Every structure is written in C-alpha cells, then in structure tokens.
Structure 1
C-alpha cells in the first residue's frame, strides 16, 4: 500500500511541476508581442500575438464563419495565409484539399499569430457586424425544435440575403465554462432589419442548442454576428424546387418570405421531410404561401409516420419523393437545406431529373 501511495505522490508531483512549467512558458516564453496582419494587401492590423488567427480577427471585429466555434471540427474558417502561418498542422489536414495547400489556404482557428502575417479573406466579410439583441419570442415548434425572434437593441440594422446565416453566441452557463458560437440560418424576411428569426433544433450534448433550449428565455440578452454564406435566392426566372428537413426549414422560409414581399412570380415546389406528423411545423404558414404566392406547392413527406397519424400524404424520404413526383423539365433551380447524406441523395435524384449542377444550390448542415 505504501508503494502505491508513493507512486501516486510522485506522479502527482510530476504533473503539478509540468503544469507549472507550461504556465510559466505561456507567460514568459510565448510572449510574442505586437504583430502585424496585412489583409488583402490594403488593410493593416497591429495585434497582440499568441492567440489563434480566428480569435484575433474576431477581436478586431472581423468575423470569419466558424460553425464549430473555433474548435477545429468544421473546416469553415478557411482563409488564405500567404506568409507567417508556419507549416500545415496535423489538425488541419483532414479539412484541407491538396489544392487548398498549394494555394496557402489554412484553418484560421488552428494557426496562431506568432509573427507578422499576410492573409486574404473575401471582401464581403468586412460587411459582417456584431449585434446585441434581446429574445422577443421563444416558443416550441415541436418537442425538439424552437423558434426564436431576436430583436436588435444596439441601434444597428441587419441587411442580408434570403438564405444566409448568422452566428449566435452562447455565454458560459452551468455545465459549459466557455463562450461558444454556432451557425444558424436566418428564417425571417429581409425587409425586417430590426430583428431576425431563427429555428433551432435540440441536439443532445450540443453546447449552444442546450443553451437555447434549456437556459435562454424571453427577455434575455443575446449577441450574434453576420450575415454569412453564399446560399441565397438567385436573381432569375427559373422554376424552383426547394428541399429541406427539420430545421432546414429556416432558409427556405426566408426565401419564401422574400418572394412574397417582392411579388416574385416563379413557379415553386417545396418538399419538406420529417419523421412523423408531430415533427411537422409552420403548416399554417405553408398554407398561406400556397394561397398568396404566384404558383407554390408545399409537399410534406414523412419517413416514419405513426399509426395514430392517419397519414395520407407521401411516405418515405425526401429524395424518394423527388424521384416519384418530379417530371423532367428544363429551366429549373434547386435550393436544398439539410444534412450531408440528404443533400447528396437529393442532388443525385435531381441530376437524374435533368437538373444541372450549376443550378443546384445548397446549405449543408454538419
């Protein structure tokens, strides 16, 4: 027994010493001082070195999208780093193609600002802003999906394209010690610049979804930034096929609102997938769009209807509904929002129906 106690004591002592040395190294050795970041050859930032490039840019009100909140698990925060990044890290490799690496594309959340840098980011990111707001409406759409309306309270207005997304911030709360942010599609009309709507599903163990579903209430203050994304309603006269499952309803709702607000006359059909009848929501709105839009059809599909649902609509997965319902026709665009497997299956079936890849637009959820 004495031998075990001595061994445990020695290991604990070594661990404590290593932790102390790491702390000292972080304070003294890793003091990188002021560094210069040149952006797109014409903007210059003087920053304190040592933090990730992503967090450094955010600290200077330059917001790069990051669906995972800078944890290195989404690959969204790519930017071109022409100098100062050092060698590609192992944590980046699974998210960088060979072409990315040839073109100096890196994950901004994984590289630290240790020396002067020269980077390139899309110019539209300079239009991304941070907003403060309050939860004006919080209501359950289903047992796992919540609707939020966030009223902007800092005097700013938000301008976005129907289909784009923002990043919502979660402060620390019981069970989560860090501030994190996640990406959510905007579900409201572009004409409303003083608030935005979100549709957020609950994911077991999800940090931000737990915050929204378990801790966030009407009247609470919130912070978000945006808009982001290249998924939005295109300016054309093509017929439209829209496809979404679950919370993928959000950007499609925004697009439909845009069409209604602007009197856009395009033939459109919306396939919406859910498991059972209790997972369907906003059916009254869909009926309103069917009445008010030029030529719009809403087709809900259930993959696992219950006996008590008495379901007489389409049964099966959304891609199957497309295969059964759609006829081949020219001059059409598709707008898809959902998980990667759903997107991939849907694209396959759309191509079989005569769609071309350049006319298929999608927002893929991780």
Structure 2
C-alpha cells in the first residue's frame, strides 16, 4: 500500500513540475513578438503576442463580456476567430454549441495570441468603456436584494449612453473571501436620460463572490469600477403593445424600459407581470404606482408563488407564467415581450406567450443564472 502511495506521489510531483515548467516557459521564455489582430476586416491592432485574446483586447480598451474574469467558466467572452486561433481547446468545448464550432466561435479567454489573427466581434463593443464611480446610495429593499446607485466620477468618459434594457459589468476588487478581482453582469435599472448615474438591483447569492462583496463590503462612499454598456436586450422603437415579465432582480431592465416609456410620453399599452415568492419579496411598489399614473395604458400585475396566510394576499397566486395564461388574451395584433429572469422562468414564459399569439421573433429575453 505504501509503495502505491509513493508511486502516486512521485507521478503527481512529476506532473506538477512539468506543468510549472511549461507555464514558466510560456510566460518567460516564449517570445511571440509583435502580432497583428484584424477586427471586423477594418480595424487592425499591433500588439505584443503571448497574452490571451481577451486580455489583449482589454488592454486595447476593447471590452468583451466576461463574468468569470477570464477563467473559462462562464462562456460569455465568445467571438468569431477566422484565422490564427489554433485548435479548439478542451476547456472551450462545454461552452460551444455545434453551431458555434461550425462558425468558428471561440472563447477569447482561452486563446493565446501566438500568431496573426483575424476575428469578428459585435460592432457595439467598440462603444463599451471603462468607468469609475462612487456609491451614492445603497439600501436593502428586501432581505436579499440591495438597491445600489453609482455616480460616475471618471473624467473620460464622464457620462454613459445606453439603451433601456442593457447591462454593465461590475468589478469587485480583492477582499478577504476573494484574493482576485471578479466581474459580474448586472442589468441597468435607471433611466437612459440620467447619463451621470447607474442604478442596480443586486441580490445576495450564497458564496457568490461579487454579491458577497456588495452585500457585506460595499458602503455609501465606496469607489467602484465597471464597464459597459453591453447587450442586445433593449426596448425596440415601435408602437406595438408590450408585455413585460420578470422575477426578483430581473425587474432591473424592466424599470429602465418603463422609465424610457415615461420619457417618450408613450401611449403604448404595457402590462408588467412580476413574480415573487411572498408579499415581503415585492419591492419598488411606489415606483409601480408612479408608472401606472404616468403611463395611461400601463398595468402592474404581481404574482406570489408562496403567499403566507398571515399576509392576507388577495392578488394573483402561482408562477408568473400562470398569471399570463390566466389574464393575457390571445391576439394576432402586433405585440412585443421583454423577459428577464432565470432560464426555467424564461423557457416556461416563452411557451405561454407563444400560446397567446406573440411571435417568437418578438419575444426578447435576458436569462441569468
């Protein structure tokens, strides 16, 4: 038995040593020289080779979404690599669909720039910028959700332009429970006309590194760093009737959309189906009253999945898609739907909306884990 343990120990030691030597050689011996990256066939970068594609682009102020800080565990940092990326790595495979692989989609955090490359990224990413800010307000709106308001303090840029429904990526610096920076995406909850502030709704997730930082370490006056805006989930410029659906902190982009409708003095019919567990999990109710006063054709419909008997709840009960099935009428008229929440909620709600006559290409959603 001791011989087996010694053998295992020796093999493990040799493997570890080889890995360290390869890391050392790649970091300090390999010299890839100056490489060129052609982006979207019209923008060329000359950079020092050797870093990951993700970090190389960030160093050039081109910010690709990455919720895991480049560790290859989120799958957000996809881009199209037409040449120069080398073979697809095993670390990428869990995040690449068959269609991704057929269309040269890769994880930019896993590719090292070792040769000239040609890539494609969404044009809107050239508008993403890095911001500094300060916390003006941070309050508990439920026992697990905080409302956070940042004031932009950076000089360049000093304001932010975004579409109602988009998101930012917030950075948490190293702190006792997290030795490294971490990044997470949060939908913007503020009005697009306020270009000096960003509002967020941040729920607490047990063992979540960034949510723990916000809920336990972030205070009024704290400095923050974030990048944005990101995302193709935003209010479309049409006159169609709107169906809004969210649960929990998924309310954030819906708030931004509703503020936008007020600023537009919109007459569009809009119904907001919001799901929560209990009455104590409902929030922003004063804002909903304001929206119902300011928007003549807006209605807020909260639904509780687990109402307590002592709360004397007389509203809708069940999951949010149950309320849609009960209340929303079938129609062939043009309608759009905007959904934000967990994947199971989105999937069940899409089915309910399709059954009510809303076209699949008019259902826009933002899923979060």
TM-score bracket for this pair, using the shorter chain length: over 0.9
| Alpha-carbon shift at residue 264 of structure 1 (Å) | 1.2
1:198 matched residue in structure 2: 200
Of stretches 78-87 and 242-251 in structure 1, the one that deviates more from structure 2 is 78-87
Q: 1:66 aligned to 2:69?
A: no
Out of 241, 249, 252, the position equivalent to 2:251 is 249
TM-score, reference length from structure 2: 0.93
Out of 174, 179, 195, the position equivalent to 2:181 is 179
Out of 336, 356, 359, the position equivalent to 1:356 is 359
2:279 matched residue in structure 1: 277
| Alpha-carbon shift at residue 91 of structure 1 (Å) | 2.0
2:214 matched residue in structure 1: 212
Q: 1:341 aligned to 2:341?
A: no
| Alpha-carbon shift at residue 309 of structure 1 (Å) | 1.4
1:307 matched residue in structure 2: 309
1:232 matched residue in structure 2: 234
What are the equivalent positions in structure 2 for 1:86-97 lying under 5 Å apart? 86-97=86-97
CA shift digits 1:15-68 (9 cap, x unpaired):
774465345323434332332211112212122222221111111110112233
1:331 matched residue in structure 2: 334
Moved over 3 A (4+): 2-20, 26-31
Question: CA separation of 1:103/1:11 partners in 2, compared to 1, >3 Å: closer, same or farther?
Answer: closer
Q: Distance in 1 between matches of 2:178 and 2:358?
A: 45
Q: Distance in 2 between matches of 1:39 and 1:22?
A: 30
* RMSD between aligned residues: 2.1
Contact map agreement 2:67 2:182 (CA 8 A) in 1: no
1:287 matched residue in structure 2: 289
Question: CA separation of 1:13/1:342 partners in 2, compared to 1, >3 Å: closer, same or farther?
Answer: closer
CA shift digits 1:82-124 (9 cap, x unpaired):
1110111122223223332222111111211111111111211
| Alpha-carbon shift at residue 173 of structure 1 (Å) | 0.7
| Alpha-carbon shift at residue 8 of structure 1 (Å) | 9.8
Q: Secondary structure of 2:95's match?
A: coil
TM-score, reference length from structure 1: 0.94
Q: Distance in 1 between matches of 2:179 and 2:106?
A: 28
Q: Distance in 1 between matches of 2:342 and 2:366?
A: 9
1:42 matched residue in structure 2: 42
Question: CA separation of 1:351/1:174 partners in 2, compared to 1, >3 Å: closer, same or farther?
Answer: same
The unaligned stretches of length 5 or more in structure 2 are none
1:149 matched residue in structure 2: 149
Question: CA separation of 1:291/1:13 partners in 2, compared to 1, >3 Å: closer, same or farther?
Answer: closer
2:28 matched residue in structure 1: 28
Q: Distance in 2 between matches of 1:242 and 1:138?
A: 26
CA shift digits 1:300-338 (9 cap, x unpaired):
111111122111111100011101111112221111000
The unaligned stretches of length 5 or more in structure 1 are none
Q: Distance in 2 between matches of 1:5 and 1:71?
A: 32
CA shift digits 1:130-173 (9 cap, x unpaired):
11111111111111111111100013110000001111111111
Q: Secondary structure of 1:248's match?
A: helix
| Alpha-carbon shift at residue 288 of structure 1 (Å) | 1.0
Question: CA separation of 1:159/1:177 partners in 2, compared to 1, >3 Å: closer, same or farther?
Answer: same
